[in-house]
C-alpha cells in the first residue's frame, strides 16, 4: 500500500467540508466508504447542473477508451463530462463538450508523477499542479 494512501483521513477531511459533495462510485469504493462518509457514494453516473451547464460525472472505470467516454457524454447530452480512473489530466473541448479528467493529486500516472487537481471558478475550468499551483490546462466554459 502507498504511504500517502489514508482512506480514514480522507473520509474525515471530506466530512469537514461545508459544501455538498457528489460522488460517483469508483472501482475502489466499498460499502465501508458509505458508512464513514457523510455524503453518499452514488451510482456510476452523477448528473448535475452548474453555471447553466449539464454535467455528467463518472469515475470512468467502465469506459474502455476515449471513444466510449465521448459516446456516453453525447448520450446524456453533457456540456461537461468529468471522469477519472486513469489518473492523467485531460481538459479539452470536442464538438462543444468539455471533457475533464483532473488527474490525481497523490497517485499521478503522468510521466513526471506530478499531482494535479481541477478547479472550476466562475466560467473557467483549469487543471493545476498541486506542488506549484501552475496551470497545466485551462478552458472557458462559455467559448
pLDDT at site 82: 95
> Contact, 95 vs 81, CB < 8 A?
no
What CATH number should be reported for the domain whose range is 7-105? 3.60.21.10
pLDDT for 88: 92
Q: What is the pLDDT of residue 29?
A: 66
Q: What pLDDT is stored for residue 129 in this prediction?
A: 96
Ranges of each domain in the chain: 7-105
First vs last C-alpha separation in the chain? 43
pTM of the predicted protein model? 0.86
**pLDDT score recorded for residue 1:** 55
Mean pLDDT by 10 residues, the chain (143 residues): 73 87 73 75 85 90 84 96 91 97 89 94 95 96 90
- Per DSSP, the three-state class of 5 is coil
CA atoms of 57 and 90, how far apart (whole Å): 14
Amino acid at each position: 500500500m502507498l504511504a500517502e494512501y489514508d482512506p480514514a483521513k480522507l473520509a474525515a477531511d471530506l466530512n469537514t467540508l461545508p459544501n455538498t459533495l457528489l460522488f460517483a462510485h469508483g472501482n475502489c469504493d466499498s460499502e465501508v466508504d458509505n458508512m464513514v462518509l457523510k455524503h453518499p457514494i452514488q451510482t456510476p453516473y452523477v448528473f448535475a447542473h452548474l453555471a447553466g451547464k449539464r454535467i455528467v460525472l463518472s469515475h470512468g472505470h467502465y469506459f474502455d477508451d476515449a471513444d466510449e467516454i465521448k459516446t456516453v457524454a453525447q448520450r446524456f447530452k453533457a456540456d461537461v463530462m468529468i471522469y477519472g480512473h486513469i489518473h492523467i489530466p485531460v481538459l479539452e473541448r470536442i464538438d462543444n463538450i468539455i471533457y475533464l479528467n483532473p488527474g490525481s493529486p497523490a497517485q499521478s500516472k503522468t510521466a513526471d508523477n506530478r499531482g494535479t487537481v481541477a478547479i472550476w471558478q466562475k466560467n473557467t475550468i483549469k487543471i493545476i499542479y498541486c506542488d506549484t499551483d501552475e496551470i497545466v490546462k485551462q478552458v472557458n466554459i462559455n467559448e
